[in-house]
Each structure stands twice: as structure tokens, then as C-alpha cells.
Amino acid sequence: MRRKLIAGNWKMNKLKADGIELARSVFEKCTVNLPFDVLICPPMSLLGLIADMPHGSCGIGSQDVAETIKESGAFTGDVSAKMVCDLGATHAIVGHSERRTLHHETDDVVRQKAENAMAAGLTAVICIGETEAEREGGEALSVVSRQIQGSVPTTATSENCVIAYEPVWAIGTGKTPTVADVAEVHAAVRAELVKLLGQEVANKMRILYGGSVKPSNARELLSVDNVDGALIGGASLKIDDFWGIASTQL
Ligand code: 13P
């Protein structure tokens, strides 16, 4: 049985005061025994501050790590996975569609970042997902299969890796795929993981759904076969929305 993971990706949001307040509200919820795992991924500017707060069982993740295999050196603006780990993080998102699109990150780059995260002791949250044109062209399954094969290191395990399926056209748009479409893609992702990592590892690996998850659709999306949690953007920025989603799993 895979334990669900409710994860918030704050993206480039929150200044210090608001970020600390939001983190505190989430952490308060994580002081009791919950039947699921919780993760928040604040911007790098707040990661250390937030990781230093008492955070109960809540995981803390970065939204990226440096591509270079080096742990330090002349890489202006980059933050290595080791540095992220040193700040107290447990997870790192890699390959988010905003990085694949805006920063032209390829599957090779994403796989290297995932490897760096794992080598530093972090759990990599590897994002995949098709664009609207790819979905309309009937290519959704082939795109996510290619991304799995290209972005997921063969050393991935259920401990050091989580997959997040985020259809690009569903991110921040209020649009979500049908339950049948989510089920189809998540089953295809699982099958691709079996090919890459073997049945045993693939069966234990969590596959999150992300893209316009909100309190009103969370119960339905999270009850789909092979949906092992949610990666939440906009709705993770308000405690009532974030916890409204999480509470559907209580
Ligand atoms: P939204 O929940 O705002 O659609 O964003 C999803 C996302 O990109 C999480 O990584």
C-alpha cells in the first residue's frame, strides 16, 4: 500500500513574513499522526529559514537543484543538491514543466539533476507531463513514456524518487483531465517504471498528480488508481485550500 503524499510547490511566491506564517500553519497540522505524508517546497530564498522551524513530520523540498555534478564551485546563481540538503531539506523537485519550458531543460538535464539530488540524500520529485498540443495530437502517453525513460535515473527507488504527472495545460488553468485520462496516464507511467526499474521498485514508487488540484476536485483525483498524492501549486499558497485538499484524505 503506497502512502499518499500531499505536496505544495510554492513556486516563486511568498516573502519572508508570509512564507513563515504559511509554513507555521502547515507545520501545526503535521504535529499529529496523519495517514499521509506532507511536503512543502518554498522558494530557495526561504528554504533554510523554514527548514529551521520545528516542522513535525512535514517534509521540506527545494524546487530545483544545480545541474553540475560538483557540490561546489564556479556556478554563479546555482545551488547544489548538497547545499539544499545542508539547509535541512528532504526533497527536491526537478524537471518541473516551468523549468523544462522557460529554462529549456531537457530530459538529460532533468535526469542529471535527479541523480544529484539522490546522491545528496534527497528524494527527487521528478515532474513529467504533456503539453496541450501533444495531448490534442494523441501523444500524451508517448510523451510521458519518453520523459520517464529519459528523466528517471535507473538507480531510482521508492525511497529516493517520486514521480509527478503534471499535464502542462492543466497547470494554473483550472482545467483538469478527466478521471479516465488521469487513470490512463498514471497506469502508463507505472508500466514504464516497471520497464525501467523492475516490478518491485515500480510498484512501490509514488506517482503524484498535479495541475489545478483544489479542495473541490481533490477527493476525486486522489481516488483514481495509481494516483498516490498531489503536487499542488496555487492552492498550496493558502492554508485553507492546501489543508482542504489534504483533509480529503483524513
Ligand atoms: P497549479 O496547482 O497552480 O495548477 O500548479 C500545479 C503545479 O505546477 C505544481 O507543481
Give tens-digit pLDDT for 134-154: 999 999 999 999 999 999 999
Q: Is the pLDDT of residue 70 over 90?
A: yes
Closest among 60, 63, 114, 115 to 88, alpha carbons compared: 60
Q: Could you tell me if 8 and 41 are in contact, meaning their C-beta atoms sit under 8 angstroms apart?
A: yes
Question: Which stretches within the chain are classed as H helix?
Answer: 16-29, 44-51, 81-86, 97-102, 107-119, 132-136, 140-151, 179-197, 199-204, 215-222, 239-247
Q: Whose CA is nearest to atom 5 of ligand 1?
A: 233
Asked whether 167 and 213 are in contact (CB, 8 A), the reply is no
Active-site residue, from 98, 105, 115, 166: 166
Q: What is the mean pLDDT of residues 57-76?
A: 98
Let me know if 184 is a catalytic residue.
Answer: no
The answer to whether the CB of 213 is under 6 A from ligand 1 is yes
Ligand 1 pocket test, candidate residues 212, 238, 242, most atoms within 8 A of CB: 212
**pLDDT for res 204:** 98
- Average pLDDT (28-55) is 98
What's the confidence (pLDDT) of residue 24? 98
Phi/psi at 125 (5° precision): -105, 100
pLDDT of residue 136: 98
The 10s digit of each residue's pLDDT in 35-44 is 999 999 999 9
For a mutational test of ligand 1's pocket, the pick from 11, 99, 169, i.e. the residue with the most ligand atoms closer than 8 A to its C-beta, is 11
User: How large a percentage of the chain has pLDDT more than 70?
Assistant: 100
In order of their start, the domains of the chain are: 5-249 (3.20.20.70)
Ligand 1: which of 169, 213, 214 to mutate, most ligand atoms within 8 Å of CB? Answer: 213
Contact 162, 5 (CB under 8 A): yes
- pTM, entire model: 0.99
Contacts of 198 (CB under 8 A, 6+ apart): none
Does residue 159 carry a catalytic annotation? no
Whether 231 is in the pocket of ligand 1, judged by its Cβ within 6 Å, is yes
Whether the CB of 145 sits within 6 Å of ligand 1: no
Task: Give the confidence band of 1 by pLDDT, cuts at 50, 70, 90.
Answer: confident
